[in-house]
Amino acid sequence: MNAYKRDYARRMREMNPDYAEKEAERHRERYATNPWYKLSCLISAWAGHDRWVWIFKELPWKTHSLVQHTNLVQHRCESCGLPIRRNSRLIWQSIAQPDSYSCHACYMKQDPEVCMPKGYEDIRGMKALVARKKQLDELDPKASRAEGTVDGGKK
Ligand SMILES: [Zn+2]
């Protein structure tokens, strides 16, 4: 949603409570019926909270990693070509080609299997994610982590 549409949506909500209700209803319905939308919302919510940064730092994401410091450079999305908002919490950097970035919408166009970290493909919620992490850590403390993070893979 661009800034103009966002403003418009906010004004509509203020003037018309019914509109807000309908908007929330649309979100709930999409969330319940569209698995892609739900996963996209979940990942976006995780990225919005500092206490959940570890999800992006520690888990083995497959094709892209989430950019953590975004205030300096304006990136363009490798797929749609649009500039990605500089203050966006959702800028995906290609692991294979570090010069290449993707917006969240384009990142989520991949299979959900590919969007989620290795070992977490079927996870669709925070509780399940934490439980899976614990389970994987017990099996093999290193396998569930991204390479080159935490202890640098040495020991
Ligand atoms: Zn894009």
pLDDT digits (tens, 9 = 90+) for 33-72: 998 999 999 999 999 888 999 999 999 999 999 987 666 6
H and E: helices and strands count for the chain: 7, 5
How many Å lie between the centroid of ligand 1 and the Cα of residue 82?
A: 6
CB 90 within 8 A of CB 81: no
pLDDT digits (tens, 9 = 90+) for 103-145: 999 999 999 999 999 999 999 999 999 999 999 999 876 655 5
**DSSP single-letter state for residue 122:** T
* Buried residues in 88-119 as b, exposed as e (16+ CB within 10 A): ebbbbbeeeeeebbbbbebbbebebeebbbeb
What secondary structure does DSSP assign to 35-102, as a single string?
Answer: HHHHHHHHHHHHHT-GGGHHHHHHS--SSEEE-S--SS--EEBTTT-PEEPTT-S-EEEESS-TT-EE
How many Å lie between the centroid of ligand 1 and the Cα of residue 45?
A: 19
How many Å lie between the centroid of ligand 1 and the Cα of residue 122?
A: 24
Distance between CA 117 and CA 64 in Å, rounded?
10
The encoded tokens of residue 26 equal 């649309």
How many Å lie between the centroid of ligand 1 and the Cα of residue 70?
A: 16
Domain ranges of the chain: 34-139
How many Å lie between the centroid of ligand 1 and the Cα of residue 92?
A: 10
How many Å lie between the centroid of ligand 1 and the Cα of residue 79?
A: 5
pLDDT digits (tens, 9 = 90+) for 97-110: 999 999 999 999 99
